[in-house]
Structure 1
Amino acid sequence: MDTSTTSSIISTLGGGSGVDMVKLAGDLAEARFLPQVAQLDKRSEALEAKISGASTLKNLLSQFSSALGDRIRSGDLAPEPKIGDLGVASVSVLTGSNAKGSYSLEVSRLATAQVLASNAYSAGSDLVGEGQLTLRFGAIAGSAFTDGGQDPLVLDIAATDTLADVATAIRGSGRGLNAYVADTASGTRLVIKGEDGESRSFTIEATGASSSGGTPAPGQIDYLAWNPASDSGQLKASAGNAAFLFDGVAMTSETNKVTGLPNGLVLNLSGTNEGSPTAITFGDKTAQITSMMGDFVGALNDIAGSLAEIAAPLGGDLSNDPGARALRRALSSLASEIVMPNAAPGEPATLGDLGLVRGRDGSFSLDTKRLDSTLDNNPAAARAMFTTGPFGVFATIDKLSRAMGSRADPGTLGGSITRYTSQLEQLEDRREKIADQQEALRERMVKTFAASDARVAASQSTLQFLKNQIAAWNSNNN
């Protein structure tokens, strides 16, 4: 008989014994596996505590590294370039720059774009003629054009296209060109402006069904053609490179945004100052570094305090964990670790040179006298320790955070999390097997109890029959 059916019958009839056999079977099956389940619960709680402890330490390191990086990249420790003449350029630095020192800047010419105004039309709605316009890009010197090897821009012009349609097609070409229709005193013209830089000059070739074959006129596609050799006033501005002296060294740039300068410096040129050089300097960061080191020590103490509690030899969730031991070793040597391997003799190279001190109890403190001495004697070198480059304070903490978070290394916090998570999953598998075994035992007991209860019920029925028969006999005798 099906177990559920048997259980239902027993429950409905009350059973021959009067005992709830279904509940009895469930209670007995649960009691059979209760010690094993309790042991699994205890082990699971311990593993979850270990995972939580390792995750807490790992996250503290990650948050410390992230906050430090943000402060150096865009916070109060980010380089602050300044320029004496704001009319000449604005200055900035690339992310992660180790910008320092001072420079001179003298701009003699800004980068310019070619501007071309076409022959005159009567209106922007005039048809330009069917054909094809080809813009070629390169350099123009006098009446000569040198193709720069760039892919030309080819526009197919329909017989119904107007001057305004051509302007729209040029703007939408994705080649960095601007084009518009301008109404002037001498007629309506198509104005085309290229990008800055002499190599971005352009010519216009025109071919197709409406070509004049001679002297073009409005309505013929070659009326829009242009090259420097045949220019008759259409060229309004020539493309050219910016020219400037940087620390007295002559340089050029195709655009007014100048990169590739020392230490990630970026210039956005906006004016000229030939004969009157201006200075580019960087703000002093002494106060910010002092503040940073105070916060740095505080963050390290938060991590060290959590480590001492979570990995305490007696009662700590990670008392004998290899990842916790690795972090403790790393923190113990942090102050003496060389973070600037390329530092010149006499320049600061360790966190200890910035005043970091680790006590015997594992806590950190700041030696302000040593920090002040470093900032007084080597301010530029101290500033260079706070970048997001491959060396320095941030790189050291970031490297520690990444190493401790690695799940592939069993000797790290990440490795511990992986190991404990795997063990926890194994316990869950074991718990599922016990649950299956418990249910199987319960079902067997229900079947066995159902059969026993049926026999008890039969015995009780026989007994009641005998009682009734004897009572009948006694009644007849009377």
Structure 2
Amino acid sequence: MTTAGSSIISALGAGSGVDFIKLAQDISAASFAAQRNSITARQTALEAQISAAGQLRGAITGLASALGDRIRSGDLAPRPELANPAVAKVTVPAGLTPRGNFALEVTQLAQGQTLVGRPYASRDALVGEGTLTLRFGTVSGASFTPDAARAAAAIAVSATDTLATLATKINQASGGAVQAYVAEGASGARLVMKGGEGSANGFVLEAAGAGGAAAPGDLSYLGWQPATNAGELQATARDALFRLDTVERTSPTNRVTGLPGGFTLNLTATNTGAPTTLSFASNTDAIASVMSDFVAALNNVVSQLADVAAPIGGELGNDPGARELRRALAGLAGRVVMPGAANGEARTLGDLGLALNRDGSFRLDSARLTRSLEASPDAVAAMFTTGVSGVFATMDRFARENSLVTDPGTLGGSLKRFEAQKAASDARLAKVAEQQDNLRERLTREFTASERRVAASQSTLAFLRQQVDIWSNSDR
């Protein structure tokens, strides 16, 4: 770095010839080298500890999260079995575990109302100016009961509207409650209108045309009421009717929810007079697969812990959080998963086959898992839910316990301590850099002042030599 003093000296061409700027830099750097190297080494060690602790904590929380995703995916839910699969499709939402056997008899499927209007010459035929009003409610025989809670849809029809453009307007005005399109056949073009499933989704058409004559070209030709039905009504809106364990039930759609245990039925056919059996069986194969994957994931954590917490060379060799994690893992098989389990039912991870080896790793005791599944399959299946009890809840608590930053004895506490020490080292290194720079500036000023004095002395000496030479010459 060039200072004002060093620039002046350089400009005058004076000085001792020593590079005082570099000298000041070297002296200041050497003065703080030991402190700087010590702090830098400590920072490197802390960064390694933070990385090791963070990766280990991430492995634990990741294991719990992956286990939760696996359970929520639904492959562990009891498998529904329907003796007559043509009657319905059964689904079980993730996280639910319905149990038991049911008798299912479907006597009527839900359907929507279908109207096929009277014929026109083509889809481009004009329908006539006026207002077409859709009213929703229940159609029963020749009567219509309007739904007071649903607003009617009034459609303004212009003199240029065709059968095709009217269908588009109906779709837009009904907000999807009615699907309209034009079907062209041997008898001409007809307006087809289909409502949603359920008896409450019936509808009527009130047509007010400008001409007042119910003929093609006048909007009144499209009006429809059940009392004046002349074959336009092809299907009446109705609810689904079924019996579950002989109890009669209804549903406005063929998708039935709110059933015992939370399962859902999608009704597809009737089986009046021939009830079929619906049962739920525990998915033992999926449970065994999950436990096998769970043991493998735990062993990955154990292996990672053994590397980073090795007494010699391990980043966390003497860390209390790592020691606590090792102790917690050793007791994992004995953790109670289902505190409310009845006598003889599986209640711990050990009952699910989790076993500890002498070296701290885990293995799957398949024989013990099989015994638990044979003795109480429903109780074992209930352990694989996302509720307050179960395998996921246990591992989630395990991960949280070992990640608490407020507890200095956990991995989370160790990570917080390392990060605080790293921040302190960063601050100390910045302070050393500031002190080193201050020393460099002070030395530079002192050396510059010395350089000026040396230059002044050299100038005086040159003057004296010159005078001596003059005096010597005058004496001759």
Indicate whether the TM-score tops 0.5. yes
Cα-to-partner distance string for 1:114-159 (whole Å, 9 max, x where unaligned): 1112233333223334444332333222213241613433433344
Between 373-382 and 326-335, report the one with greater CA deviation: 326-335
TM-score using structure 1 length:
0.85
Residue in structure 2 matched with residue 200 of structure 1 by the alignment = 201
- What's the counterpart of residue 243 of structure 1? 241
State the identity %: 50
Give 1:440's aligned amino acid: N
Alpha-carbon deviation of 1:176?
4.0
Q: Within 5 Å, which residues of 2 pair with 1:5-404?
A: 5-8=4-7, 16-74=15-73, 77=76, 79-142=78-141, 143-147=143-147, 149-173=149-173, 174-207=175-208, 210-212=209-211, 215-282=213-280, 285-311=283-309, 316-318=314-316, 321=319, 323-324=321-322, 327-358=325-356, 362-404=360-402
Task: Give the alignment's TM-score, normalised by structure 2.
Answer: 0.86
Q: For 2:334, what is the secondary structure of its paired residue?
A: coil
Q: Which moved more, 1:277-286 or 1:92-101?
A: 277-286
- Which residue of structure 1 lines up, in the alignment, with residue 452 of structure 2? 454
1:374 CA drift (Å): 1.0
Tell me if structure 2 keeps the 8 A contact 1:144–1:228. yes
Q: Deviations over 1:349-389 (max 9, x none)?
A: 21121122335654333333322211222223222322334
Letter of the 2:371 partner, please give it: S
Q: Distance in 1 between matches of 2:428 and 2:221?
A: 86
> Could you tell me how far 1:238 is from its partner in structure 2?
1.0
Offset, 1:60: 0.8
Q: What per-residue deviation string (whole Å, max 9, x for no partner) do you get for residues 29-67 of structure 1?
A: 223333332333233223323321221121111221233
Instruction: Give 1:85 deviation, angstroms.
Output: 3.3
After superposition, the C-alpha distances for 1:274-329 in whole angstroms (9 at most, x for unaligned) are 23333444566334433432332232233234334434567654456564455345
Aligned partners of 2:37 and 2:63: how far apart in 1? Answer: 39
Distance 2:150 2:260 in 1: 30
Q: Which runs of 5+ in 1 are unaligned?
A: none
Residue 437 of structure 2: which of 436, 439, 449 is its match?
439
User: Which digits, 9 at most, give the CA deviation of each residue in 1:207-257, with x for residues without a partner?
Assistant: 5xx445x55444444443333233332211111122223344332222222
Count of matched residue positions in the alignment of Structure 1 and Structure 2? 474
Whole-angstrom CA distance in 2 between matches of 1:229 and 1:409: 78
**In 1: Cα distance, 2:161 partner to 2:373 partner:** 69
Quick one: distance in 2 between partners of 1:126 and 1:45?
Answer: 84
CA distance in 2, matches of 1:227, 1:273: 33
What is the aligned-residue RMSD (CA, Å)? 3.3
Higher mean alpha-carbon deviation, 294-303 vs 75-84, is at 75-84
Contact 1:115 1:235 in 2 (8 A): yes
With 276-285 and 393-402 compared, the bigger mean Cα shift is at 276-285
Question: In 2, Cα distance between the equivalents of 1:158 and 1:381?
Answer: 67
Q: Secondary structure at the match of 1:335?
A: helix
Contact 1:335/1:352 (<8 A) preserved: yes
Give the letter aligned to residue 136 of structure 1.
Answer: R
- Matching residue's letter, 1:327: L
Which segment drifts farther, 4-13 or 47-56?
Answer: 4-13
Deviations 1:79-129 (A, max 9, x none): 443434343223322112224544443322221111112233333223334
1:14–1:20: 8 Å Cα contact kept in structure 2? no
CA pair 32-254 structure 1, distance change in 2 beyond 3 A: same
> Which 10-residue stretch deviates more, 233-242 or 450-459?
450-459
- Structure 2 unaligned regions, length at least 5: none
- In structure 1, how many angstroms separate the alpha carbons of the residues matched to 2:383 and 2:445? 77
